[in-house]
């Protein structure tokens, strides 16, 4: 007979699963908070569903490059740049959705052993002290990078194709905005866990 998984075995999965606020919010949670969490998480889910389609042109571009290079000895000038631009856009634009699912890298080997209330306290203060200040500074700096890139018609100088750089920098700016938006939802979830000892939507 197979042994049932221990709490430690499944704790990482539980940490990720309880991140989604798409389930039913607690009855005693203020309606404005429950509504805000649900709407933000739904928005991030919608963004994730749209952004995932970037993988299609990414795969097509790389497949075309491989076939052209190997079968016809006709490598493209644009495949390398397109692959890194599309991958970068996929990474940045999907970051907010990834945060909503709790799949970003973190020190779970310590965190998973904390009580839920302690997890909430740690998350809440890390969002306040580091997450939002850091991302706001990053957002402010990136606005300048995008503006300068557009004004100068900046091009990539490391390949022969020399593509314009502002589209990928704009994706970075938008991705930071998505992270800030999802961060609001995560902050309220953390606050609820810190004060109630239970994550929103988590069943006993």
CA torsion sign for 124, 33, 13, 5 is positive
- pLDDT above 90 covers a percentage of the chain that reads 68
Q: How confident is the model at residue 165 (pLDDT cuts 50, 70, 90)?
A: very high
The domains of the chain are located at 30-196
Mean pLDDT of the chain: 88
CA–CA dist 42, 100 (Å, integer): 10
pLDDT of the residue at 8: 47
pLDDT of the residue at 32: 95
CA–CA dist 137, 176 (Å, integer): 10
> Which of 44, 178, 193 shows the shortest CA–CA distance to 118?
193
Q: Which residue has the tokens 């970037």?
A: 54
> Which of 70, 65, 103, 104 shows the shortest CA–CA distance to 82?
65
Provide the β-strand partners of residue 164: 155
Q: In the numeric block, which tokens belong to residue 98?
A: 């990834």
pLDDT in tens, 38-90: 999 999 999 999 999 999 999 999 999 999 999 988 889 899 899 999 999 99
């Amino acid at each position: 007979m197979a042994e049932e998984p221990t709490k430690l075995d499944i704790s990482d999965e539980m940490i990720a699963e309880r991140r989604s606020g798409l389930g039913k919010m607690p009855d005693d949670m203020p309606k404005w908070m429950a509504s805000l969490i649900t709407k933000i998480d739904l928005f991030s889910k919608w963004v994730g569903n749209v952004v995932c389609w970037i993988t299609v042109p990414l795969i097509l571009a790389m497949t075309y490059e491989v076939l052209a290079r190997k079968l016809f000895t006709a490598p493209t000038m644009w495949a390398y740049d397109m692959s890194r631009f599309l991958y970068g856009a996929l990474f940045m634009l999907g970051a907010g959705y990834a945060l909503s699912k709790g799949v970003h890298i973190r020190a779970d080997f310590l965190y998973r052993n904390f009580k839920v209330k302690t997890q909430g306290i740690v998350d809440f203060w890390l969002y306040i002290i580091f997450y939002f200040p850091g991302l706001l500074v990053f957002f402010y700096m990136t606005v300048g990078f995008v503006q300068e890139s557009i004004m100068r018609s900046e091009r990539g100088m490391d390949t022969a194709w020399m593509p314009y750089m502002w589209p990928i920098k704009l994706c970075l700016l938008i991705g930071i905005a998505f992270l800030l938006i999802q961060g609001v939802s995560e902050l309220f979830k953390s606050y609820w866990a810190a004060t109630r000892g239970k994550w929103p939507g988590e069943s006993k």
